[in-house]
Amino acid sequence: MKYRLLVFTVIIAGILLSHCSFSSNNYWDSHTSRPGRHPGKVEKLVSGILSCKQDHEIPSDISISYPYDQAVFPPEIAAPAFTWADKNPESNQWLITVQLKDRRPIYALTEEKKWMPQKDIWEIIKVNSVDQPAQITMSGLKNDSSCQILSKGETHLYTSTDRVDAAVLFRQVPLPFETGEKYIRKLKWRLGDIASYDPPPVVMQNMPVCASCHLFSADGKKLSMEMNYKNDSGSQFITDVKENIELTQPDFISWNDFPKPELLPPSRGVFGKMSPTGRYIVSTVNEISYMALTNDPAFSQLFFPTYGILAFYDVQKQAFNPLPGADDDDYIQTDPGWAPNENYIVFARAQTKNAYHEDIGNITTRIENAGIEELNKKFPICFDLYRIPFNNGSGGTPEPMKGACRNGMSNYFPRYSPDGKWIVFTQSKSGIMLQPDSELFIIPAQGGTARKMRCNREVFNSWHSWSPNSRWLLFSSKANTMYTEIFMTHVDKNGTDSPPVLLSRFSDEDYAANVPEFAPIQAKDIKRIRIKE
């Protein structure tokens, strides 16, 4: 009996304090009820449940798949879609009860196992879920006059006072990954606003060349991106941010202009990263890489450098130089990340693996009739994170990063928080891209005990980016589908993160969304990026 009373409290809390009120067809906000108004459909249903004697203990047969329990939302984000599964086959309509601090509940009714609150309701939920979570309860009902509750489930969400205040630039790619211009022209780049209820506009598409890693300067005035301009796989552009970006030859540098031994293949400038001020770009050069296309469309490529050093380009001096301390021929030195003050660079390092190639003078993409797990066993590689002083390009002695080194795992993709307190990196049993078991870990910026982040989902968590205020972290995951989606987690001042928020409007049918980067600009600041012929 006590159990039934508790369920009633969850579903109809506050009803006895309210009177008849106006109601839209599928919503009823009992907090704004006024006497003398004709009750609507939802209010009548809730009143019926209140007066109806439940003849059974209500099972928790509803599992809410999204939002994740205890997720933290940004204050400016558009409303999410709540989704759930119900084990009871007789349930064919669901009553949603939203309980908020110091407020009577909001109710909604749906005939689908999916509900998106209308804008005004969502704003009420966000405003009233800062100090205490909003409790959202789904109750399964029959689609008839019965008031019996057949099933129930609940989730809780918070809203942070920390805004994101940044756009998101990301790429969409069809799966499986392919080579050739026909495939490359299908790629789309979007610049998204998390507050928008519309899909992010496409700012770059139908390009004849591939583009990938990209970064904005900390002030949002510069954009840099790897792009195979004029079939030069080592090309990377640096340009001013403006509404219409038209790229010409002077916007590009080529990592192939860095001196290399004759035996080595042309440089691609792998994982090139512009510094926060926009003065420098650091990248892997003189690299040899293992690249294979697999028979698994979800994890359709395996990629990692087997040899390479770090070099940097000085935009002011228009000069390339190796980075001393990260130019050891006995190691692969790759995947750099800048400290916000540009004093340090953290990078991934491993013993060279050139034995994986039949001919290092003829490196080609391999077509493998094998899955990613089989290839990982055949071509294992583990990276450790090291930190090196930049010293205005003079470099120094590399130091192993405690918590991300010599742990029997592969550690890569290090990214400093803009406030300089933390480094988030990716860890997996082997490799760099694409690893099903990849997970995000956080350590203090100077190194320390690594903590596995709460935001990790079941499959593939990688390619992360910090918001300008160091309170939000973007990342990619295949938790729900083989088509990678973009998620975001809140990180507090202690480095503690929350279950993530899915940026569902950034997803497109039959496209994977990847390489997301926060852009310290507004989404309207860039309308188009193209190569000017």
Confidence of residue 55 (pLDDT cuts 50, 70, 90): low
Contact partners, residue 495, CB within 8 Å, separation at least 6: 421, 422, 442, 444, 451
Q: Tell me the pTM.
A: 0.92
Q: How far is CA 93 from CA 10, 90, 414, in A?
A: 18, 9, 47
Contact partners, residue 421, CB within 8 Å, separation at least 6: 444, 445, 470, 495
Task: Report domain 2-159's class.
Answer: mainly beta
Query: Closest Cα to residue 387, out of 433, 447, 436?
Result: 447
Q: Parse the chain into domains and list their residue ranges.
A: 2-159, 167-531
- Bridge partners (DSSP) of residue 214 are 225
Contact partners, residue 429, CB within 8 Å, separation at least 6: 376, 409, 410, 435, 437
Least confident of 44-53, 202-211, 452-461, 475-484: 44-53
What is the pLDDT, as a whole number, of residue 284?
97
Q: Which two tokens stand for residue 162?
A: 């920390």
- Rounded Cα distance, 115 and 33, in Å: 22
Q: What is the length of the chain?
A: 533
Cα-Cα-Cα-Cα dihedral of 210, 213, 218, 220, to 10°? 20
Confidence of residue 526 (pLDDT cuts 50, 70, 90): very high
Q: Which two tokens stand for residue 382?
A: 């583990």
What is the pLDDT, as a whole number, of residue 386?
99
Q: Is the pLDDT of residue 222 over 70?
A: yes
What is the pLDDT, as a whole number, of residue 34?
67
* Residues 214/169, Cβ–Cβ less than 8 Å: yes
Q: Is the pLDDT of residue 17 over 50?
A: no
- Rounded Cα distance, 339 and 3, in Å: 54
Query: Closest Cα to residue 166, out of 527, 506, 519, 489?
Result: 519
* Per-residue pLDDT reduced to its tens digit, 274-285: 999 999 999 999
Confidence of residue 42 (pLDDT cuts 50, 70, 90): confident
* Per-residue pLDDT reduced to its tens digit, 161-197: 999 999 999 999 998 888 888 999 999 999 999 999 9
Give me the residue label for tokens 């004709």: 38
Q: Is the pLDDT of residue 46 over 50?
A: yes
Q: Is the pLDDT of residue 5 over 60?
A: no
Residue 15: phi and psi, rounded to 5, are: -60, -45
Q: Is the pLDDT of residue 247 over 80?
A: yes
The H or E element that residue 384 is part of is strand 384-389
Average pLDDT value for residue range 358-374: 85
CA neighbours closer than 13 Å in the CB half-sphere of residue 517: 21
* Per-residue pLDDT reduced to its tens digit, 331-345: 999 999 999 999 999
Amino acid at 465: S
DSSP string, 493-515: TTS-B-S-EE-GGG-BTTEEEEE
* Per-residue pLDDT reduced to its tens digit, 448-493: 999 999 999 999 999 999 999 999 999 999 999 999 999 999 999 9
Q: Which two tokens stand for residue 449?
A: 């005990």
- Rounded Cα distance, 157 and 98, in Å: 11
3 state SS of 441? strand
Evaluate whether the domain defined by 167-531 bears CATH number 3.10.20.70. Answer: no
- Rounded Cα distance, 483 and 297, in Å: 9
* Residues 345/338, Cβ–Cβ less than 8 Å: yes
Confidence of residue 11 (pLDDT cuts 50, 70, 90): very low
Confidence of residue 20 (pLDDT cuts 50, 70, 90): very low
Amino acid at 198: D
- Rounded Cα distance, 367 and 214, in Å: 27
Amino acid at 109: L
